[in-house]
Amino acid sequence: MRDLGLASAGGVCVRCQLRLLVASHARARRGIATSSGAAAVPPGSAAAATAAEEDGRAHESWMQTGPPEPPSSIPTLRPPTDPFSPRRPSSLSIFQSIVESQARTPAAPGAPAAGAAALGLVKDVARIQTMLEHEGATLADAFACFEGSVYAQIKDNGAVPQIIKNQIAAVLLEPLALAKPKDFDSGELPGVARITDIMIELDVLRPFAWAALVIELVQHIYRQKTVPEAYASVKDFETAMARRDVLLHDLVGAWRAFCAQRSSAPHGSSAPKPPAKGAQAGKAVQSNSTFQDAFAAMFPQYLLPSMLKPSLAAFATYKLLTEPFNRTRSIQSEAAPFLAMMKTLIFQGPTARRPPQPADFEAVLDVYPDLPRLLWPPKPAKGQAYLNSASVFRDAPRNAVSTMYHHVNTAVASKNLGAVQRTWAQFWGEAAAPDAERIAQLARHPDMFDLFIYAYTVLRRPQQAIEVWSNMERIGIKPTIKTWSSMLHGCVKASHLAGVHAVWDKLVRSGIQLDTAIWTARIHGLFACGDPDSGLRALEEMAHVWAHRKDARHARIAVQPSIEPVNAALAGLLRLNRRSDVNKLLAWASRRGINPDLYTFNTLLRPLVRAGDMKGIDEVFATMRSINIEADVATFVVLLEGALNQIGCLAPAQQVEVVERILAAMKDAGVEINMRTYAKILHLLLREGGRAEEPVKAVLAHIWHRGLELTSHIYTMLVDHYFSRDPPDCAAVTALIENRRLHENRSIDRVFWERVISGYAQAGDTARALDIFNRVFVAGSTITFSTLYDLLRPLLAEGNMAAAARVVEAARKMGRLEDGETGAATAAAADGGRYWRHRFWHLVYRNGLMGQHLEAKFLLANQESMNQGL
C-alpha cells in the first residue's frame, strides 16, 4: 500500500479505511458502536472515548440537514454527502467496478456463490440511476421500478451485499426522504412508513436524517387547519380531516417500524435498561439523564449523538397523538404500543422528574422554530376554558345485544313474520319437545321468550304468541310481569286497542302483583291507540284502587300513583293538543302530592318550543330552578328542535353562534353530549339543505376535537345530504367513502351501503352503485329488495344483463331459495307470499331473468297469494 503514496490519516489507504468503516458499522449493528479508528485503540481508554465522541460529532455533522429555506419557510432536508452519492463524478462506474470485482472473486469454500444475483441487482440499480439522471424519470417512476424488480430480487435472494444496499439508499431512498415533505398531500411518492420499512430492511436507516423526515411530517400535520371556518363546504372540511387521518396513520406506521428495532426493558423495570457494551456502555440512565439518553438506550445499535433528532421526533409525535383531536379509536389503537413506550419514558423512568424541555433539543430546534410553540404551548390564563375541551365530555357507552335478539327486533321493524318464525325455530330447536339438555339451555334465556311474545303480538299473530307462552310454561319458566308487559307493548305497537283491554283484563285475573311500569304501559297504550278518555279513566282507576288497597280484591293490583303514569297521560294529551285537559291533569297530580320530574318538564317544553312561546319556556325553566331540577340531554334536544328550526334563514355567522351557544350551555349545565345528541343536531341542520353548511362544519369540528369518530348513522345522514343536492353530489359521496376508508370500517352498517347504492343508482352513476354492490353484498350479505330494485332498473336500462343477472342471483341466495324444505313454497307459506310480492321480482319476471326453476316458484307463490286474497 505504500506504493500508492496515499497521505491518509495514520497512513491507512482508502481501501483499508473502507474495510475499517464497514467493520465498525457491522459492530455497531451488533450493539458495539465504535469510531472508525476503534480498532487502533484499547477499549475503555481515554483515546477510545475521545475517538467515539469525535466520531459521533462527525456522524451528526454528516447527517445534519438544513438547506436554504423554501418560500414557505418550512425547513427541508439537506442532501446527505454520501460517499456513494449519485451526484459525485463517475460514482456509478466506481460502484459497478467494485461490485463486479467482488462478484468475480472466488467465494470461500462452503460460501454461497451470489455473484450472478449481485450483478443482476447492480444492473437494475444502475438502470434506476440512469432513469433519474439521464431520462428525466420522476422519483415515483423510479420507486415503481425498484418495487417491481430490485426489491423483489432482494426478497428472493436474501443475502445481498451491503454495498448494493448502500447504493440503493444513495440512488433512491435518500432522495425520496428529501422529496417526500413536498409530496405529503399529493401522495404520489411512497409514504413515510413505507420508506422507513425499506430503510430498516436494507439496514440503511440513518436516524438523524430519518428523524428529519418524521419531524417534517409532524409539522405538516400540525399545519393542517382543523377549524371549519377554513373550508368552504362540509365536503371540503370532511375531506381535509380524512386526509389528515391518512397522514396520522402514516406517521404511526413509521414509528411502528422504527420501534420494532428497540431493546425491550426487563420485566418490572420502569425504564429501558441501557446496553452492557458499546458506545453507550457505562452511561447508565441516571436520574439526571435527559430524555434523549433514555430514548437512545432503547436503540443501542445507533450512536448516541445521532439519536438527538429522533428523540425530538418521538416527543413531537407523542404530543401530537395525545391531543384530543387525534384521539380517534383507530389512531389510538394503532398507536397504543408507541404511546405506552413514550409514557413509560416520560412519566415512569429516570426522566419522570425532569420531563423533556426545549433546552434538551437546543442543538436542533433552531432548524424547526415552530416546534417549541407546538410542543410546549403556553398555559391558558386562569379561568379560561375552551369549548372543545375533551375533559368536559364523555361518550356514553353502547349496550351490546345478542345476534338473535337483534334479528328478531330487525324482523319486527320490517314486519317480516317469516324471519321471526325462522329465528324462533332456531331458538327452540328442531324437536317439538326438547330434551333435558335443551330445556336447561332455554331456561337460561327467559327474556327471549318475552321478546318472541312481543314480536308475534306486534305482527298480529296472537295464536303464535300464545304458543310461545305455553312452551315457556311447559319447560318450567313462569311468566313474569315483564312477560305481560311484552304482550301489552306488542298490542300497543300494533295499535290493537281491543288487545290492550283484553290483555289487561287477563292480567288482573291472573293474580300477579302489578307495578308502576305496567300501569304506565296501560295508560300510554290507551292514548297511543286513540282512546285518550279511557287513558284518563285508567289513571283515576289507579288512584281509586290505591285508596282501597286494603280490600282483598285490590291488594295485588294496587300501586301508588306516581309521576310516571301522569307523564304518560301528559304526553298523550299534548300530542292531541288538549291543552285544557293538561292543566286539569297537572292540578289532579298536585292535589295528590305527585311532584313533577325532569321528564314532565321536557314534555311541557316541546310544544312551547315548537310554538316559539319564549314566555312559556322561561316559566318552565324558572319552575325547574325553583325545585332544583337540572336540565338533561333530552331537555336540550327539545330546545335544539326549536332553536334549529328554520336556522337556514339566518346568516352563516349567526347559525354557528346558535349552535355554539347551545353546546356551551350543555357544557355549563354538566350535560354529557353523546353521539346520539350529535346525530340529532346534525339531522336538524342537514334538513335545511345547503343553507346550513357552516353549523354542520362546526358540529363536525366539535366531534373531532373531542377525539370521537363519526358513527354509521351520521355517515348515512351525510350521504343522504349529498344525494339530496340538485344535482346529486356523487363525487362528495365517493370522496367520503375513500377518504374515510369506510370499506375497512367494520362499524359501518348495512343501511349505509344500501343508501349509497340507491343514491348512486338514482343519480345515474350505475357503475359506482354496482361497484359497491359487488364489494359489499354480492358475497351473500342481506340487502333489502328496495335497494336491489333501485339497482336493477338502471342496469336493465343500460342493457347490462350480466350485472343484472348477478343482482338476481344475490336475491335468490339471500332468500335461501334452494330445492327442498327451504324452497319457495315453504317461504311463501311462512311469509304469506310476501317475499315474492315485492316489485323487484315482478321486474325480474317481466325482463325474463328468472329462468324456468325460479319462475315456477314465483308463479306458484303469487297464485297462492291471490287465492288467499292477499
The predicted-structure confidence for 419-436, as pLDDT tens digits, reads as follows 899 888 888 887 788 888
CA distance 295 to 291: 6
Residue 346: the pLDDT is: 83
Looking at the chain, the whole-number percentage of residues with pLDDT higher than 90 is: 29
How confident is the model over 219-236, as a mean pLDDT?
Answer: 84
How confident is the model over 714-731, as a mean pLDDT?
Answer: 92
Long-range contacts of 671-675 (CB under 8 A, 24+ apart): 671/631, 671/632, 671/633, 671/636, 672/393, 672/394, 672/396, 672/633, 673/393, 673/633, 674/395, 674/396, 674/633, 675/395, 675/396, 675/703, 675/708, 675/711, 675/713, 675/714
303 or 84: whose pLDDT is higher?
Answer: 303
CA distance 34 to 56: 9
Residue 609 confidence class, pLDDT cut points 50, 70, 90: confident
CA distance 831 to 816: 14
Nearest to 422 by CA among 15, 782, 785: 782
Q: Is the pLDDT of residue 821 over 60?
A: no
Residue 90: the pLDDT is: 45
- Cell numbers for 302: 445507533
- Cell numbers for 176: 425520496
Q: How many helices (H) and strands (E) does the chain have?
A: 43, 0
Residue 855 confidence class, pLDDT cut points 50, 70, 90: confident
CA distance 102 to 90: 19
Write down the residue that cell numbers 428497540 correspond to.
262
Residue 401: the pLDDT is: 36
How many Cα atoms occupy the beta-carbon half-sphere of 122 within 13 Å? Answer: 22
Q: Is the pLDDT of residue 535 over 50?
A: yes
Q: Is the pLDDT of residue 517 over 90?
A: yes
Indicate left, alpha or beta for 31 from its phi (over 0: left) and psi (-120 to 50: alpha): left
Residue 868: the pLDDT is: 58
Residue 35: the pLDDT is: 35
Residue 64: the pLDDT is: 38
The predicted-structure confidence for 544-572, as pLDDT tens digits, reads as follows 999 999 988 888 999 999 999 999 999 99
How confident is the model over 360-365, as a mean pLDDT?
Answer: 82
The three-state DSSP-derived secondary structure of 155-166 is HHHCCCCHHHHH
The three-state DSSP-derived secondary structure of 568-601 is HHHHHHHHCCCHHHHHHHHHHHHHCCCCCCHHHH
Residue 344: the pLDDT is: 85
Length of the chain: 870
Residue 86: the pLDDT is: 41
Residue 121: the pLDDT is: 79
Residue 402 confidence class, pLDDT cut points 50, 70, 90: low
How confident is the model over 196-224, as a mean pLDDT?
Answer: 91
Residue 394 confidence class, pLDDT cut points 50, 70, 90: very low
Residue 253: the pLDDT is: 93
Residue 377: the pLDDT is: 77
Residue 641: the pLDDT is: 77
Residue 351: the pLDDT is: 57
Residue 865 confidence class, pLDDT cut points 50, 70, 90: low
**Alpha helices, DSSP H only, in 224-351?**
234-259, 291-296, 308-321, 329-343
Nearby residues of 320 by Cβ (< 8 Å), 6 or more positions away = 218, 221, 222, 248, 251, 326
- Cell numbers for 92: 456509478
Sequential DSSP letters for 711-754: -HHHHHHHHHHHHTSSS--HHHHHHHHHHTTGGG-TT--HHHHH
Residues 360, 292 contacting (CB under 8 angstroms): yes
Q: Is the pLDDT of residue 582 over 50?
A: yes
DSSP 648: G
Buried-state track 190-206, b at ≥16 Cβ within 10 A, e below 16? bbbbbbbbbbeebebbb
Residues 782, 814 contacting (CB under 8 angstroms): yes
Residue 529 confidence class, pLDDT cut points 50, 70, 90: very high
Cis peptide before 727 (omega within 30 of 0): yes
Q: Is the pLDDT of residue 537 over 90?
A: yes
Residues 215, 687 contacting (CB under 8 angstroms): no
Nearby residues of 474 by Cβ (< 8 Å), 6 or more positions away = none
Q: Is the pLDDT of residue 33 over 80?
A: no
Residue 25 confidence class, pLDDT cut points 50, 70, 90: very low
Tell me if the pTM is above 0.75: no
Nearby residues of 239 by Cβ (< 8 Å), 6 or more positions away = 735, 736, 739
The mean-pLDDT minimum among 196-205, 209-218, 394-403, 459-468 falls in 394-403
**Top-confidence range, 320-334, 383-397, 761-775:** 761-775
Nearby residues of 42 by Cβ (< 8 Å), 6 or more positions away = 48
Q: Is the pLDDT of residue 280 over 50?
A: no
Residue 434's alpha-carbon distances to 240, 330, 427, in angstroms, are 59, 45, 11
Q: Phi first, then psi: give them for residue 773, nearest 5 degrees.
A: -60, -45
Nearest to 807 by CA among 758, 770, 859: 770
CA distance 602 to 621: 10
How confident is the model over 838-848, as a mean pLDDT?
Answer: 90
Residue 273's identity, in one-letter code, is K
Residues 616, 582 contacting (CB under 8 angstroms): no
How confident is the model over 121-149, as a mean pLDDT?
Answer: 85
Nearest to 205 by CA among 25, 339, 38, 31: 25
Residue 432: the pLDDT is: 80
Query: What interhelical angle do 115-134 and 91-104 show, nearest 10?
Result: 170
How confident is the model over 325-333, as a mean pLDDT?
Answer: 72
- Write down the mean pLDDT value for the chain: 77
Residue 116: the pLDDT is: 57
Indicate left, alpha or beta for 432 from its phi (over 0: left) and psi (-120 to 50: alpha): alpha
- Cell numbers for 641: 328542535
Q: Where are the domains of the chain?
A: 2-63, 81-105+114-203, 206-276+288-378
CA distance 308 to 512: 76
Query: What interhelical angle do 329-343 and 234-259 show, nearest 10?
Result: 40
100 or 616: whose pLDDT is higher?
Answer: 616
Residues 644, 684 contacting (CB under 8 angstroms): yes
Q: Coil, strand or helix: which one is 689?
A: helix
CA distance 294 to 207: 16
Residue 591's alpha-carbon distances to 76, 141, 223, 543, 847, in angstroms, are 79, 85, 64, 12, 70
